[in-house]
Structures are given as structure tokens and as C-alpha cells.
Amino acid sequence: MKMNRYEEIWLMLSGGMLVIFMLITGYQTFALGMGPPSNKETIDPQKVDETAPFDNPGVFKTGENEYEVVMTLEVFNFNPGKIEIPTGSTVTFIMTSKDVVHGFQVVDTNLNAMVMPGHIQKATQTFDKPGEYLVLCNEYCGAGHQHMSTTITVK
């Protein structure tokens, strides 16, 4: 199998580029902890309200500038909604769905996760800039999907 010299160069550059993508992604994931939300805990989707911690959804202070938000998603709202936290807080969202698949996207941040019935999803974000952040469901969930939103106010 004979290859054109230029093609060899082109393919070496192409392969090199793909390797660089892998290296950067791997470094960010495993060294900097920037990997995508991938929590593996499960829950009975028909017993969410009776199962801790989702029997008591809310915003909880867990340390200096650290918060935990225990959140349930269902058609067509986030519980709790209208979250308020101080600037500079690191917030861990612990979420599950009580019905169909929902999305959890906080605009102007990289928070973006699928929230599924039967699975507990976790994502962490530090809010350094004050302001009102739009939270929306980005997985089609039914007739009122376009209304499923809330806000996080950082002040």
C-alpha cells in the first residue's frame, strides 16, 4: 500500500491533532477535575419523595462558602427554585428526576447535565460573578418544557 508523501504528512498532522485533543481532555478530566457530570448512584424513581436526601429538597450550607443543593426535577419545575447564594460560593447540585428525563443547564456557566429517573446526578460550580443566572431544562420533557426554568441569584 503506497501512500503519497503529502498524504503521509497530512495524516500525521491529523493523527497528531486527535492525540492532542485526547491529551488535553484527559488532563482536564483527571488532573484538574473538570470532567463532565458522571455520578453513578441510583434511586428508585417511584420513591423519590421518601428517599433521603430527596425527601427534603433545599439549599444547605455545608462549609465556608460551600453549599449543597438537593434538587428534584419533575414536569415542569425545579424544586427548590429561585435559589440565592453569596458570591464566591461553591455549590454542589445533587439531582434526580421524579418522572421523565430532564436537563439541567445554567446559562453563562458550564453547568450542563442530564437528570434521569433512577439516577442521581451531581455537578459542582463556583459562582464568582454576582448576578441572576437562568436555569433551564434542556431535554424535551413534554408540553410545558419551554416553561421549565428557574433562577440562581448570586449576590
Chain centroid to CA 57: 17
Instruction: State which of positions 79-98 bind another protein (CB under 8 A).
Output: none
Which residue of 49, 62, 130, 140 would you call a contact of another protein, by CB under 8 A? 140
- Decide whether 8 or 128 has the Cβ nearer to another protein: 8
The piece of 53-61, 65-73, 79-87, 116-124 that touches another protein (CB under 8 A) is 116-124
Using CB under 8 A as the binding rule, whether residue 116 contacts another protein is answered as: yes
Count of residues engaged in binding another protein, rule: CB under 8 A? 66
From residue 15 to residue 44, the character string flagging contacts with another protein as x (rule: CB under 8 A) and all else as - is: x--x--xx-xxx-xxx---xxxxxxx-xxx
Q: Can you tell me whether residue 40 is helix, strand or coil?
A: coil
CA distance 70 to 50: 14
CA distance 81 to 69: 10
CA distance 124 to 103: 15
Structural contact between residues 85 and 127, judged by C-beta atoms closer than 8 angstroms:
yes
- CA dihedral sign of residues 130, 133, 36, 57: positive
Q: What's the DSSP call for residue 108?
A: T
CA distance 145 to 76: 6
Q: Where do the H-state alpha helices sit in the chain?
A: 5-30
Using CB under 8 A as the binding rule, whether residue 59 contacts another protein is answered as: no
Minimum distance, C-beta of residue 125 to another protein, in the bound complex (Å): 11
Using CB under 8 A as the binding rule, whether residue 134 contacts another protein is answered as: yes
Which residue of 88, 147, 153, 155 would you call a contact of another protein, by CB under 8 A? 147
Q: Tell me which residues touch another protein (CB under 8 A).
A: 1-4, 6-7, 10-11, 14-15, 18, 21-22, 24-26, 28-30, 34-40, 42-46, 75, 99-101, 103, 105, 107-108, 110, 112-122, 132, 134, 136-143, 145-147, 149, 151
